[in-house]
Amino acid sequence: MKKRYRLAAALLAGLLLLPVSVPAADTEENGSGDEARVQYPVSDTLTPGGIVELEGGDLEEGAFTFVVMDEENNVLQTVTNSEEGGIDFEPITYTLNEPASESLTYTYTVRQLESDDPDVTIDPTVYTFAVVVTDPRDGTLEIWASEGWNSLDFTNTRKEKGKEETTPAADPEDETGKSENSNSKSSEDKSRGKSSSGKNSNSGSSKDQDTSKAKNTRTGDTENPVLWLLLAGGSLAVLCAAIVLKKKQK
């Protein structure tokens, strides 16, 4: 009896010590092991960088305004400069709510708005840069930005107050010489004008005198007796020829 009890106890202990296998989880439903450990959403940020300088004046905080726009020209940020000239861009946040099999590309444009100060000429440069976001599925995001995203620099210029274009003063001696020459030239012109006007008046009067003389002088051709004799003889010959012709017809 004792041997039987010992054998039963040994069999029971062996059954209790057998390993127990647990069925593996379905990877299609729960995803791969790496993805199952990643908690979404996953986020990361990128902060653009830039500096503005003012030539010809002292830069003040908030003096200039800049905008960041997306590829559809929607304004994403409107920021100003610091006292040191840094442009206080805000971080751009990228968030994935679920695993992404492909990289995502974003394009941004940065430019400066017109200044309220009429004495300041702003830098019209427009910057464009791209950002590519990739999901490595390890709980982080890989962010790549094209060249220039952290060097968005602008140089503005202030006009110097009270500085106007001046014409250099002329030499007094030259001015005196010019005035004397101009006076002598004007006097010569006046004298020439007088003499020419005198000539014109004299020529006009002589022409009038010649015309009046021509009108009052008779040539005497209308009283030439030879001409009258010729006319009379011709008329008489025509009259005689007409009489003779008339008699022959009768």
List the CATH number of the domain containing 130.
Answer: 2.60.40.3050
Nearest to 49 by CA among 189, 177, 149: 149
β-pair partners for 221: none
Q: For 193-220, write each residue's pLDDT tens digit.
A: 444 444 444 444 444 444 444 344 344 4
Domain-located, residue 55: yes
Q: How far is the CA of 49 from the CAs of 90, 127, 184, in angstroms?
A: 9, 12, 72
Task: List the beta strands (DSSP E) in 83-225.
Answer: 92-96, 104-112, 120-121, 127-134, 142-145, 154-158
Structure tokens at 169: 């003063």
How confident is the model at residue 9, as a pLDDT? 57
Question: Does 117 map to a domain?
Answer: yes
Domain contains 3: no
Within a domain: residue 68? yes
Residue 122: partners with Cβ closer than 8 Å, 6 or more residues away = 64, 112, 113, 114, 115, 154, 156
Q: What is the pTM of this model?
A: 0.53
Pairing assessment for the beta strands 52-55 and 154-158 based on DSSP bridges? parallel
Is 240 within the bounds of a domain? no
Q: What is the pLDDT of residue 246?
A: 72
Distance separating alpha carbons of residues 220 and 168, to the nearest angstrom: 80
**Alpha-carbon span 219 to 221, nearest angstrom:** 6
Within-domain flag for 153: yes
- Where the chain has pLDDT below 70, the residues are 1-36, 162-228, 248-250
The answer to whether 135 touches 96, Cβ cutoff 8 Å, is: yes
Say if 179 falls within a structural domain. Answer: no
How far apart are alpha carbons 80 and 51 in whole angstroms? Answer: 11
Residue 91 lies in a domain: yes
pLDDT tens-digit readout, 136-178? 999 999 999 999 999 999 999 998 876 554 455 555 555 554 5
- The tally of domains found in the chain comes to 1
* Domain limits for position 148: 31-158
